[in-house]
C-alpha cells in the first residue's frame, strides 16, 4: 500500500505541459481554508513602507483575492508562544480565545471571534484556488518538487523555491501542479505552477514565503509598520516593489477571434485572431456541427488561416493564446454556416 501511494505521488509530481489545465478529477468543491479571510491581499500596504528598494510583486494574476494567514512577527518559527503579531502592529493572544476550527488562530479582542492566523506562521496564505502562481521576481528555480519527496500530504506539498540572487529566496507551497524545473531561470510574472491544496493544507490556498538566502531565516515582505521595534529582528523591511503589494505589471493575453465565409461559393472559412501579450502563440481548433473537434494549429504565431467548409454545415473555432511568460486566455468565434444544400434548419 505504501509503495502504491508513493508511486501515485511520483506520477502526480510530473511537471505539466502547456495548454489550459483541467481541474482535478473529481473536481473538489471550493473549500476555503478554515481560516476566514483577514484582509485583501493586494493594496494593504499601499500606504505603508518606503518607495523603492523592494523587488517583489504579488505571486498571482490580479490581486491574490484575500489573506487567510499572515506572517507572525512574534516568532515565525512554528513554535506556539500564544501570541500572533501582524506587520501593522495588530496582535492576537491565545488568552483572548482560540478559533474552535483552528486552535492556533487567536482572537484580537478578548472573547471575540476576530481571529488572526496563525501562531508561528512564517509566510502569507493567499486565497488562490487552482490558479496560476507567478514568480514574485526574476531568479533561478532552486527547488521544484514535493517538500518531502514522495509525500503528497507532508509539509507544503508541491513546492517551488526561487533564488532571486539578491540575498532573498521566495517559497511557494501547496501547489497542485509544478510548471518549472530546478535550475530554470524565470522572469517576474512568469507562471511557475498552479495553486492547490497539496501537503498539510486544510483548504486551497497559496503559501508564499520570503527567506534570507544564506541562513533560510524567514522575513515578512511587508516589513514592520507597528509601533515600537519589530518583534522579529531578522526582518528585512518592506520588500515589495515600490513599497506596495501589487501584481506584476505584465500584459495579459486577451483573445479576440472571428470567422467569415469566403471564396467563390462561400465554402471557405477565413478565421482570424489576435491577442496582446509578450511572445504570444496560439492553438486553434475547429468545431463542426457533427461534434468533431479538429486541431488545426498548435503553438503557432500565425494570426489567420483559411479552412474548407462543407455546404450546409456549421463551424466555430476555439483560439487559445499563451504568452512567453505562460499566461493564457481563450476565446471562440461565433458559429457560422456554410451556405448550400442542407443548410436549411431541420
Binding-site ranges for Zn ion (CB under 5 A): 123, 125, 207
Least distance from Zn ion to the Cβ atom of residue 174, Å: 8
Residue closer to Zn ion (CB basis): 164 or 207 = 207
Residue closer to Zn ion (CB basis): 164 or 174 = 174
Least distance from Zn ion to the Cβ atom of residue 36, Å: 15
- Residue 288 gets the label, from left (phi > 0), alpha (psi -120 to 50) or beta, of beta
Residue closer to Zn ion (CB basis): 159 or 333 = 159
Residue closer to Zn ion (CB basis): 205 or 322 = 205
Least distance from Zn ion to the Cβ atom of residue 27, Å: 23
Residue closer to Zn ion (CB basis): 177 or 205 = 205
Maximum CA extent, the chain: 82
Q: Distance of alpha carbon 150 from its chain centroid, rounded?
A: 23
Residue nearest to Zn ion (CB): 207
Task: Return the DSSP state at 241.
Answer: G
List the beta bridge partners of residue 305.
Answer: 271
Q: What is the DSSP string of 144-156?
A: EEESSTT-TTSTT
Residue closer to Zn ion (CB basis): 125 or 220 = 125
Least distance from Zn ion to the Cβ atom of residue 121, Å: 6
Cβ neighbours of residue 275 closer than 8 Å, sequence gap 6 or more: 253, 254, 255, 256, 282, 321, 329
Least distance from Zn ion to the Cβ atom of residue 118, Å: 8
Cβ neighbours of residue 183 closer than 8 Å, sequence gap 6 or more: 140, 141
Asked whether 240 and 103 are in contact (CB, 8 A), the reply is: no
Asked whether 121 and 81 are in contact (CB, 8 A), the reply is: no
Whose cell is 540575498? That residue is: 167
Whose cell is 461559393? That residue is: 265
Asked whether 212 and 170 are in contact (CB, 8 A), the reply is: no
Residue closer to Zn ion (CB basis): 201 or 244 = 201
CB crowding 157-183: b at 16 or more within 10 Å, else e: bbbbbbbbeeebbbbbbbbbbbbbeee
Least distance from Zn ion to the Cβ atom of residue 319, Å: 37
Residue closer to Zn ion (CB basis): 67 or 257 = 67
Least distance from Zn ion to the Cβ atom of residue 130, Å: 17
Residue closer to Zn ion (CB basis): 78 or 295 = 78
Distance CA 69, CA 234 (A): 20
Please give the grid coordinates belonging to residue 242: 515600490
Least distance from Zn ion to the Cβ atom of residue 175, Å: 12
Least distance from Zn ion to the Cβ atom of residue 100, Å: 20
CB crowding 103-117: b at 16 or more within 10 Å, else e: ebbbbbeeeeeebbb
Amino acid at each position: 500500500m505504501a509503495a502504491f501511494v508513493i508511486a501515485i505521488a511520483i506520477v502526480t509530481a510530473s511537471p505539466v505541459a502547456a495548454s489550459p489545465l483541467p481541474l482535478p478529477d473529481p473536481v473538489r468543491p471550493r473549500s476555503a481554508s478554515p481560516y476566514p479571510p483577514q484582509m485583501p491581499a493586494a493594496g494593504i500596504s499601499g500606504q505603508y513602507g518606503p518607495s523603492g528598494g523592494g523587488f517583489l510583486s504579488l505571486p498571482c494574476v490580479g490581486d491574490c483575492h484575500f489573506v487567510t494567514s499572515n506572517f507572525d512577527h512574534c516568532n515565525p518559527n512554528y513554535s506556539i508562544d500564544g501570541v500572533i503579531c501582524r506587520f501593522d502592529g495588530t496582535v492576537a493572544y491565545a488568552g483572548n480565545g482560540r478559533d474552535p476550527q483552528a486552535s492556533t488562530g487567536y482572537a484580537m479582542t478578548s472573547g471575540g471571534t476576530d481571529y488572526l492566523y496563525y501562531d508561528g506562521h512564517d509566510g502569507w496564505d493567499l486565497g488562490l484556488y487552482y490558479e496560476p502562481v507567478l514568480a514574485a521576481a526574476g531568479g533561478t528555480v532552486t527547488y521544484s518538487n514535493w517538500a518531502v519527496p514522495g509525500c503528497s500530504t507532508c509539509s507544503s506539498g508541491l513546492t517551488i523555491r526561487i533564488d532571486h540572487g539578491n540575498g532573498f529566496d521566495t517559497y511557494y507551497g501547496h501547489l497542485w501542479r509544478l510548471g518549472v524545473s530546478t535550475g530554470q531561470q524565470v522572469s517576474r510574472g512568469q507562471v511557475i505552477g498552479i495553486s492547490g491544496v497539496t501537503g498539510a493544507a486544510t483548504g486551497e490556498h497559496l503559501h508564499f514565503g520570503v527567506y534570507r538566502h544564506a541562513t533560510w531565516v524567514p522575513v515578512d515582505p511587508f516589513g514592520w509598520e507597528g509601533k515600537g521595534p519589530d518583534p522579529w529582528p531578522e526582518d528585512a523591511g518592506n520588500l515589495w516593489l515600490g513599497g506596495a503589494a501589487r501584481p506584476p505589471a505584465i500584459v495579459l493575453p486577451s483573445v479576440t477571434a472571428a470567422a467569415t465565409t469566403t471564396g467563390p461559393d462561400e465554402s471557405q472559412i477565413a478565421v482570424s485572431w489576435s491577442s496582446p501579450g509578450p511572445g504570444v502563440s496560439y492553438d486553434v481548433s475547429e468545431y463542426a456541427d457533427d461534434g468533431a473537434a479538429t486541431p488545426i494549429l498548435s503553438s503557432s504565431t500565425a494570426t489567420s488561416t483559411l479552412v474548407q467548409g462543407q455546404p450546409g454545415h456549421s463551424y466555430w473555432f476555439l483560439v487559445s493564446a499563451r504568452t512567453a511568460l505562460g499566461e493564457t486566455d481563450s476565446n471562440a468565434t461565433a458559429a457560422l454556416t456554410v451556405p448550400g444544400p442542407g443548410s436549411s434548419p431541420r
